[in-house]
A and B are shown apart, each in its own frame.
Chain A
Amino acid sequence: MRAILTVFAKEFLENLRDRRTVLTALLLGPLFGPIFFSVMLQLSLDRSRVGADETIQLQVINGDAAPNLMAFLKSQRMDIVAAQGNAEKARDLIATRASRLVLEVPADYATRLAAAKPAALRLYSDSSRTGDERYADRVAGVLARYSQQIALQRLTLRGVDPQLLSPVVVNRVDVSTPASRALLLLGMMSFFIVLSMLTGGMYLAIDTTVGERERGTLEPLLATPVPRTHLLLGKLMATCAYMLLSLSITTVALCAALGRLDLEQFGMSANLTPATALSIIAVTAPLVPLLAALMTLIAAWTKSAREAQAWLSIVQLLPTVPLVFASLLNLAPKLSLMLVPSLSQHFLINQLLRAEPVDPLWIIASAASALLLGALLLWPVARLYRSERVLG
């Protein structure tokens, strides 16, 4: 037992000395998710604010040639700014970012319109600028309505029923709300938590197994009078400790970062108190030994640290597999699904975040299944450590 703690303490402290590893495992990894998340949610918030009621500024070249159109645009909450010039000027305004949208009214617009011939308008925008496309779409929509209005008038004047022009009408009904879109994002949060947990332990899983073999330190270690399983347990404990640290940092950072956002606007009562953070850590922690054993098994089985790294990046994707299946099959959380590691944690984390009541039986089932599988996985790792295969 003392040997286990000796190995644990040495691996823990040795890894702490590797500044670059600590930076990735305990700082960059755990903080990436929260930062990514709060930025995404903030963007989603901003986006929902850019609604139909926002006034759009529109630069118009040669607007005097189309007074009726200008009046219509103004009535549709467009802020018209007159500009002088031609097509080149319009491009220039966009390229220099002086303007987001430029409408050019060609010189022959009025005469063509009067002659009932298609009168061209040019709307300039830069679709590579994220967000601008939305404004262009809205202006194009307004212009199409204006065009339709004129067409209806013309048909009516000629005694034709305008309904002839619309044999089929498609009404798209998007029932997504800002809140439901945000929930989708929030659903990814569990994925980030598990991912950063894996990142936290990955270096140690490699370093304590194949890394130790590559440095030539595994051989003297195996020659010490310590049972191999004790060496292994000490190493696993150190990996678990880093995973737990990483998990805690991510969760606390996520709750802190999201707590600063105005989630009420989504109509969400997201529950981001310190107690929630603790609960999330508690329901996720049973996954730690399972994933630590899995990473250690794979790392110990590979031939080199490089190979181990390649394999473990694939392992990092593994916890997402149940999530993908669940979303493809549209699975709703239920007791039997609590037996699936990673998926159960995903469900539980989301319930905790939404401040929904969580069935204690579900928590117990989820923890028991993950811990049991972790214990089962220990067996092949211990076997590997007792055989000479561990020396490569």
Chain B
Amino acid sequence: MIEAHGLHKRFGAVTALAGVDFRAQDGRITGLLGPNGAGKSTTLRILYATLAADAGEARVDGEVVSADNTAARARIGVLPHNAGLYPSLSARENVEYFGRLAGLTRIAARARADELIEMLDMQDIATRRAKGFSQGQKIRTALARALVHAPRNLILDEPTNGLDVPAVRKLRSLLVKLRDAGHCILFSSHVMQEVALLCDEAVVITAGRVVATGTPEALRERAGSASFEDAFVALTGEGGI
């Protein structure tokens, strides 16, 4: 379970977060939805401890998240924006390196990488260096890396960015599988259809504040809109470009 309690964050004169509260439950996929610059990435970064909140608190399975609390980080798998793979390491090496960092032995890391390569259909890229990977291959590898230590909670920052339709479908079915296995999955997106299709619970964030939470259905009804897209526009007050 991932919880955000009154998260505040400023970068110089810019207020990125002005009190973000929500809860992502186990066995559910929670979508963090908002326009560009709403504070989605900042929220996620605070949740996986690369940023520190000015005020408020993030908790993962009850553990307070901070740069010094490794126990909280051990409970999260992270897929950051743009994957972030080591270009001169192969897909397998990228995954095993993070497995070793998470405390697996060499043998355990190798076995776990085998498992994930099978599960994510990565046989063709396992021994290739990540340098020339397509966006889909990058995301799959980064996802394997996030799952290497079998964390209960998964945080994905815009995971569908740059993926083609088959790749998005694959990712979706995989996340559903993980949810059904009891994982808590939190992902961000600015594509409404995606959130509507994928998540059990949506958290709509705009200008650093949570403006609505609920199932996509409930949000649509609440905004009195026919489509989720209209609901989104109504909720965020984003009336045009």
Contact = CB atoms under 8 A, between A and B. Distances in A.
B71 A215 contact: no
Contacts of A7: 101
Interface stretch (A160-168, A222-230, A323-331): A222-230
Interface string B163-177: 000000000000000
Nearest to A388: B51
Interface in A1-25: 2-3, 6-7, 10, 14, 17-18
B101 A216 contact: no
B101 A215 contact: no
A215 B84 contact: yes
Contacts of B97: 6, 10
A14 B101 contact: no
Contact of A217 (B51, B52, B74, B86): B86
Contact of B80 (A17, A220, A228): A220
Contact residues on B (Cβ < 8 Å of other chain), bracket? 35 or more
A219 interface: yes
Given A6-B100, A220-B142, A226 B80 contact: no
A6 B98 CA distance: 9
Given A6-B97, A388-B52, A391-B50, A224 B84 contact: no
B103 A225 contact: yes
A216 B82 contact: yes
A216 B88 contact: no
Given A6-B97, A223-B78, A225-B70, A216 B50 contact: no
Interface of A: 2-3, 6-7, 10, 14, 17-18, 215-228, 386-388, 391
Nearest to A231: B101
B233 interface: no
A227 B70 contact: yes
Contacts of A10: 86, 89, 97
Nearest to A224: B101
Contact of A220 (B71, B87, B145): B145
5 contacts: A14-B88, A217-B85, A219-B78, A220-B98, A223-B78
B83 interface: yes
Contacts of A225: 70-71, 73-74, 101-103, 149
B68 A227 contact: yes
A386 B103 CA distance: 20
Given A3-B101, A225-B103, A226-B70, A217 B84 contact: yes
Contacts of B74: 225
A218 B83 CA distance: 11
Contacts of B48: 223
Nearest to A10: B97
Interface in B126-167: 142, 145-146, 149
Nearest to B151: A225
Nearest to B72: A225
Contacts of A17: 88
A146 B217 CA distance: 113
